[in-house]
Structure 1
Amino acid sequence: MWRNLETSTNSKRTTTPRLCWGSKMLERWRSLSPVPEIGARNVLIADSAHPLDFRIGRDCRGRFVFMLDTDKPVDKRPVLPSVKGMLIELENLANDRTRLVVVLQDDADLQNFSLMCTGLMLATNAISASRSPEGLLKTLEELHRWHEMLKRRRDNRLTRSERIGLVGELLFLRDELLPRMEILPALLAWTGHEGHEQDFVISSAIFEVKTQVVTADRMISISSEDQLDPVQGRILLCNQGISPVPSGTSNACTLNSIVKELVGLAKATGGAASDLLAIGLLEAGYEPHEEYDDEIWMLVDRAVYEIRGDFPRIERAELRHGVEQVRYRIRVSDCQPYGVDLHSTLEKLIYG
Structure 2
Amino acid sequence: MPAADLVEVLIEHWSALEADSPTAPHHLRTSVLPVSCHSGVVLAAVDSEGLRHILVPLAAHQRVGRRTEGVNLKVVETALETTNTFIRYVDVCCADRALNDLFSEVCSDILIAIEAAPGKALTAANAVIARWRSLFDSSQSPLGEARLSGLFAELCTLRDFMLRSPSAALSWTGPAGHCHDFSGGRYAVEVKSTTTTESRTVRIHGLDQLDAPHDGKLNLRWMRLAARSDGTSLGEIVDELLSLTDDPPAFLDKLDRSGFRIADRKRYQHDRFVIVDDRWFEVDTSFPKLSLSNLTAAGIPVAVSDVEYSIEIPDRSHGSLSSGAIEDLIENLVEELAG
- TM norm structure 2: 0.55
Considering fraction of residues, name the structure with more strand. 2
Distance of aligned partners of 1:23 and 1:301 in 2 relative to their CA distance in 1, 3 Å threshold: farther
Cα RMSD (Å) of the superposition? 3.4
* Alignment-derived partner of residue 217 in structure 2: 234
Letter in 2 for 1:187: A
How far, CA to CA, are the matches of 1:192 and 1:346 in structure 2?
22
* Alignment-derived partner of residue 329 in structure 1: 310
How far, CA to CA, are the matches of 1:347 and 1:23 in structure 2?
39
Deviations 1:312-334 (A, max 9, x none): 11112526443111111111137
1:220 positional shift? 1.6
Match for residue 252 of structure 2 among 269, 272, 278? 278
* Alignment-derived partner of residue 309 in structure 1: 285
Distance of aligned partners of 1:274 and 1:154 in 2 relative to their CA distance in 1, 3 Å threshold: closer
* Alignment-derived partner of residue 170 in structure 1: 155
* Alignment-derived partner of residue 199 in structure 1: 181
* Alignment-derived partner of residue 41 in structure 2: none
Say which SS state the counterpart of residue 329 (structure 1) adopts: strand
How far, CA to CA, are the matches of 1:311 and 1:234 in structure 2?
13
Distance of aligned partners of 1:282 and 1:237 in 2 relative to their CA distance in 1, 3 Å threshold: same
How far, CA to CA, are the matches of 2:306 and 2:106 in structure 1?
36
Alignment of 1:222 with 2:196, yes or no, is no
How far, CA to CA, are the matches of 1:34 and 1:262 in structure 2?
33
Larger Cα-atom Rg:
2
How far, CA to CA, are the matches of 1:327 and 1:295 in structure 2?
28
Quick one: percent identity of the two aligned structures? 23
1:210 positional shift? 0.8
Contact 1:242 1:301 in 2 (8 A): yes
Distance of aligned partners of 1:177 and 1:343 in 2 relative to their CA distance in 1, 3 Å threshold: farther
Say which SS state the counterpart of residue 340 (structure 1) adopts: coil
1:235 positional shift? 0.5
Letter in 1 for 2:152: V
> Map of 1:112-131 to 2, 5 A cutoff?
112=133
1:222 positional shift? 0.8
Distance of aligned partners of 1:225 and 1:348 in 2 relative to their CA distance in 1, 3 Å threshold: closer
Aligned length: 220
Contact 1:242 1:299 in 2 (8 A): yes
Distance of aligned partners of 1:189 and 1:242 in 2 relative to their CA distance in 1, 3 Å threshold: same
* Alignment-derived partner of residue 130 in structure 2: 109
How far, CA to CA, are the matches of 1:308 and 1:183 in structure 2?
30
Distance of aligned partners of 1:231 and 1:167 in 2 relative to their CA distance in 1, 3 Å threshold: closer
Structure 2: where are the runs of 5+ without partners? 1-104
Distance of aligned partners of 1:294 and 1:325 in 2 relative to their CA distance in 1, 3 Å threshold: same
Letter in 1 for 2:249: D
Letter in 1 for 2:266: E
Distance of aligned partners of 1:325 and 1:155 in 2 relative to their CA distance in 1, 3 Å threshold: same
* Alignment-derived partner of residue 54 in structure 2: none
Match for residue 239 of structure 2 among 260, 263, 266? 260
Deviations 1:249-298 (A, max 9, x none): 2xx201122112222344xxxxx432232222122221224231222210
Say which SS state the counterpart of residue 338 (structure 1) adopts: coil
